[in-house]
Amino acid sequence: MSRIQSVMQQLAAQNRQALIPFITAGDPHPGITVKLMHALVQGGADVIELGVPFSDPMADGPVIQRASERALAHKVTMRGVFAMVAEFRTTNPTTPVVLMGYANPVEAMGYEEFAKSAIAAGVDGVLTVDMPPEEAEESAKVFKAHGLDPIFLLAPTTPESRVKAVAELASGYVYYVSLKGVTGSANLDVADVKAKLDVLKQYLSIPIGVGFGIRDAATAKAVAQIADAVVIGSRLVQEVELGEAGLAERLRVFLAEVRAAMDSARI
């Protein structure tokens, strides 16, 4: 059982939902990423999604696009991201880490080499935004063989055939994109999300996380009542943009407020 699967099972047994924050590796600079990861855990993160900076992050809105640009300006590479995860693992052997990014850097390295290096660094899952299930059989097979959970996106517009394909390949959890658009856009309709999740649960036996529109504790609480996990990205990256002074503590405090709100949904 992977770290992700273990954490998800433990939370389900406690009737709690996973809190999954996202930050971009190397933003605002490589030297602070591990410190920020630890701050997220201190704030209540159950799983960390660590963005791999990419020059054309097509699914991301301007906030996360700028994060990639800042990281790339520091020449952050996939190997550099592995090094950050390995450093994080020296003092945190338990919190799952998912690399979220795009297919090009993974394919450039090769699935086998990527999977071996990721596992050696302490990575637990891979979410490749532009890798649909129809093209992911080979990569998912390699990832699973090395102990990595392949994680997929589903959207309001995903057809039934693709949901079934994801159900065959995915492990760990599935990330449901709550909005039509890019990260950080619009406001989500919780009732509509619930209706879509009810349909997805007919096909999926693994946890479903919801992201792409969660910006505060109140929204996180509402989503925690209908989903297995809450994913927050753009809102955290906005904190990074405010400056490095006190950044780790700001992230910790914000996430702690979100975690408290999510837990209050169970009362």
Count the Cβ atoms, other than its own, within 10 Å of residue 260: 13
Instruction: State the DSSP code for 18.
Output: E
Quick check: is 49 catalytic? Answer: yes
SS3 of residue 19 by DSSP: strand
Task: Given the residues 49, 149, 228, 239, select the one marked as catalytic.
Answer: 49
Catalytic hit among 27, 46, 56, 60:
60
How many angstroms separate the CA atoms of 101 and 50, rounded?
8
Q: Do residues 12 and 206 make contact, with C-beta atoms less than 8 angstroms apart?
A: no
User: What residues pair up with 230 in beta bridges, in sequence order?
Assistant: 19, 210
Assess whether 60 carries a catalytic annotation. Answer: yes
Residue 98, Ramachandran bin (φ over 0: left; ψ between -120 and 50: alpha; else beta): beta
Catalytic residues, which ones?
A: 49, 60
